[in-house]
Amino acid sequence: MRDATPQTIYLSDYQPFGFLVDEVALTFDLDPHKTRVRSRIAFRRNLAVESAEFFLHGEQLTLISAQIDGKPITPEVTDRGLTCDVPDGPFIWEAEVEIDPKGNTALEGLYMSGGMYCTQCEAEGFRKITYYPDRPDVMSVFTVTINGPHPVLLSNGNPVAQGQNHAEWHDPWPKPAYLFALVAGDLVAHSDRFSTMSGREVDLNLYVRPGDEGKCAFGMEALKASMKWDEDVYGREYDLDIFNIVAVDDFNMGAMENKGLNIFNSAAVLASPETSTDDNFERIEAIIAHEYFHNWTGNRITCRDWFQLCLKEGLTVYRDSQFTSDMRSPAVKRISDVIDLRGRQFAEDQGPLAHPVRPESFQEINNFYTATIYEKGAEVIGMLKTLVGDDAYAKALDLYFERHDGDAATIEDWLKVFEDTTGRDLTQFKRWYSQAGTPRLAVTEAWDAGKGAFTLTLTQHTPPSTATPKPEPLVLPITVGLIGEDGAEVVPSRVLEMTEAKQSFTFDGLDARPVASVLRGFSAPVVLAHDLSKQERLLLLAHDSDPFNRWEAGRTLARQSLLATITEGSAPDAEWLGALQAVLSDEALEPAYRALMLGLPSHADLANTLYDTGNTPDPAAIHDAVEATRDAMAQAFASTLSGLYDRHVVNAPYQPNAEQSGKRALTNAALALLTRVQGPERAQAQYDQADNMTQQLSALAALLRAGHGDKALAEFEAQWRDDRLVMDKWFGLQVSQAAPEQAAEVAQKLTQHTNFNWKNPNRFRAVFGSLATHHAGFHHESGKGYALLADWLIKLDPVNPQTTARMCSAFQTWRRYDAARQEMIQTQLDRILASPTLSRDTSEMLSRIRG
Ligand code: PHE
Ligand code: ZN
């Protein structure tokens, strides 16, 4: 139902709850449409809080009965919750409610997916299960009883009783309601064990639907590796006798860290060589780690309120990126993270949805699970670590866990542990949490030959936004190294700490003017403007000892070449191509790293750069320039690529490890280019011989792009018809590989396929996420892409507001484009906004985007 007056919640209004919850007992009698939930909750006044208003959240619940201390009462019920008079002393609240899991298509609260029951309570889903103070600062110990005719009945904590159609669970760790979970169904377990550092034996289970047993082994290994890593690196041990993971097919997000019972989107946990790509394996490993790491950064220490979301998410993303770096290649992980940050977070931070890492207001918290809170939140932690150093970071984290274990904490608490361990004043650093917008960092150089002094002058500027109209200078850790004319490093990496709007740093005692490698490792999430000459960039591309900046030099040259093609129609830069070819042939470099070198800035990245430099991006021109550049790369590198392909093609049995997947990344990047100049034979051969999904899907993509994919596409469908996750790839790839003028039609046609189950978020995203990220297709001048997406968002919103609202961000960059496109988009935005029953989620997103 549309809220007549959408309510805005402010951080500054925070008030603690007037009651404490000593314990919670819940009993579920499961039934698809009429599940009964009985609650017995021990409340007591929190005397530290003045207000004693007793309000329990509750939505979409049918209240059957309520009692206080055994006496029936009649509370005052609204569609948001209830209130009633309560005794002064401690009391027992009891209620029985009825809910409809099968009718719950929003996938929030208790719902059904493929015949099983499961829950999703973060952020505010528990209130759809029973009446409760559904806020993260109210923590309690839960005992859960489940009755229902299902072989597997799971909840948080440790099992205390299991019987036929009956189970009881007890979680000894006080937790907020958003970490509650329940699962029931006909599931099979892939089981293992882990002994913790202090010798606790933990049972590990990965529960899946029958038929998916063969896709569990990798996830389980990733879980054990995560448990070990968190002990080794952060000293964090697991704290229950059992750890369960459940895979569900219908899930709005990637996964959820419920205490002792993580629930995963099946796409984020199920893996096998035949059905999953190398990228899938890497992502699954990272998500398993992420959710497991939340056990300490999220569960043992949780958030006081949802404004503090980055406290757990920024830190946990940072921790999972450290884990991936340790398991795989740090350079490759850093570059991939920066590509992702620029693609998603920069777009958000430079458009109408910009918000600080710690927002100060929101209407619907589900709309704030964003790249800014997650990825920029993690960057902020990386900067803090760079500024204080590794040892101080480790000490601060130890103090954080010691001081705040069991707390619902804030960003102030987090920064205080750093201040207390290092003696630093972090007042200015805190602006990273309160200011929106991507800072611009301009670098100019001066060389004093007489003194051998090289000076870098840095100027920072954050463009103002609605969220932050008057940004102030930030603390920027800027890692810099200097390189000599011969490519040798003359000054190794050091961190310049910038705190003013403009600041100079001088390096003395140099024999000759160096080339500056600035912002090594992407040490701060800024847009860098450093006027290096092409020769200097070529030198960095050939010699920079910092792998990130070496890659970045190549990327900047690529971007400049592409921009010249787009705006002046010039041919791709031959010098850049020559230098790139040398890097590709350098067998001392990891194959995965060379594969990244073969990438080009995305269409969206180019559109953004054009817009930033005062041009109106033309999606068709961008597309043509990228195609021309790829053709030129293919022609120039043909023999090199052929050699690379033959030398690095993996013949050993498939392993999803970094080494093999790096080789496949390189050979498949080569294949994509080679297919342009050599025709489809090599791709067809790879397709026919493939015994794993990475090889099969890469070959299929190359064939589709070359216009030779019809046969393989049909074979693929016949082979994988019954595999939901593989079919998501089949749907998505057809859209992403379509020609710009066909993308919307292809998507539209796919929505008529019998397997287009649009209520499944993975399937919906396979088609429409691919359309929205097909820049030239989505923004095709016909406007068909806009209209089709709008049609389907209108259709999905009443069924699943969360997924609808997230997908609205496809329109967030609309003001960058020409008047005709803006008008078409505005028409569609208004058409969606005019839906009579638009959800709070979607209406908040659209009104922010539309402005
Ligand atoms: N907390 C989850 C994570 O980051 C994300 C999530 C949020 C999942 C809301 C579902 C709903 O790991
Ligand atoms: Zn998380």
Ligand 1 touching residue 249 (CB < 6 A): no
In this prediction, residue 6 carries a pLDDT of 76
Per the CB < 8 A criterion, the answer to whether 686 and 671 are in contact is yes
Kindly report, residue by residue over 413-462, the tens digit of the pLDDT: 999 999 999 999 999 999 999 999 999 999 999 999 999 999 999 999 99
Kindly report, residue by residue over 282-331, the tens digit of the pLDDT: 999 999 999 999 999 999 999 999 999 999 999 999 999 999 999 999 99
Per the CB < 8 A criterion, the answer to whether 24 and 142 are in contact is yes
* Tokens matching residue 519: 């912002």
In this prediction, residue 111 carries a pLDDT of 99
In this prediction, residue 51 carries a pLDDT of 87
Cα gap 56→374, rounded to integer Å: 30
For residue 358, CA distances in Å to 226, 387, 412 come to 28, 20, 11
Cα gap 735→713, rounded to integer Å: 12
Per the CB < 8 A criterion, the answer to whether 694 and 664 are in contact is yes
Ligand 1 touching residue 291 (CB < 6 A): yes
| DSSP run (H or E) holding 577 | helix 574-585
Nearest residue (by CA) to ligand 1, atom 8, is 256
Helices (H), ranges, 203-359: 217-234, 278-293, 309-327, 330-340, 346-349
In this prediction, residue 578 carries a pLDDT of 98
What does pTM read for this prediction?
A: 0.99
Cα gap 767→383, rounded to integer Å: 37
For residue 377, CA distances in Å to 314, 326, 405, 595 come to 4, 20, 21, 28
Per the CB < 8 A criterion, the answer to whether 143 and 24 are in contact is yes
Catalytic annotation, residues: 291
- Which of 166, 168, 176 shows the shortest CA–CA distance to 141? 176
Nearest residue (by CA) to ligand 1, atom 2, is 256
In this prediction, residue 5 carries a pLDDT of 65
Enumerate residues with CB within 5 Å of ligand 2 (an ion).
313, 316
Ligand 1 touching residue 747 (CB < 6 A): no
* Tokens matching residue 654: 């498939």
Cα gap 368→728, rounded to integer Å: 26
**What's the burial of 783, exposed, middle or buried (CB within 10 Å: 0-12/13-18/19+)?**
middle
Residue numbers of the chain with a pLDDT score lower than 70: 1-5
Nearest residue (by CA) to ligand 1, atom 12, is 256
Ligand 1 touching residue 122 (CB < 6 A): yes
Cα gap 377→384, rounded to integer Å: 11
For residue 205, CA distances in Å to 194, 222, 521, 582 come to 11, 13, 38, 48
ipTM > 0.95 for the complex: yes
Antiparallel, parallel or unpaired: β 489-498 and 116-120 = unpaired
Nearest residue (by CA) to ligand 1, atom 5, is 256
DSSP 111: E
In this prediction, residue 383 carries a pLDDT of 99
| Ligand 1 atom at minimum distance from 254 CA | 8
Provide DSSP, 78-103.
-SSEEE----SS-EEEEEEEEE-STT
**553-561: Cβ within 8 A, 24+ apart:** 554/579, 554/580, 554/583, 554/597, 555/599, 555/601, 558/600, 558/601, 558/629, 559/601, 559/605, 559/606, 559/609, 560/534, 561/629
Ligand 1 touching residue 365 (CB < 6 A): no
* Tokens matching residue 45: 């006044």
In this prediction, residue 476 carries a pLDDT of 98
Ligand number nearest CA of 179 is 1
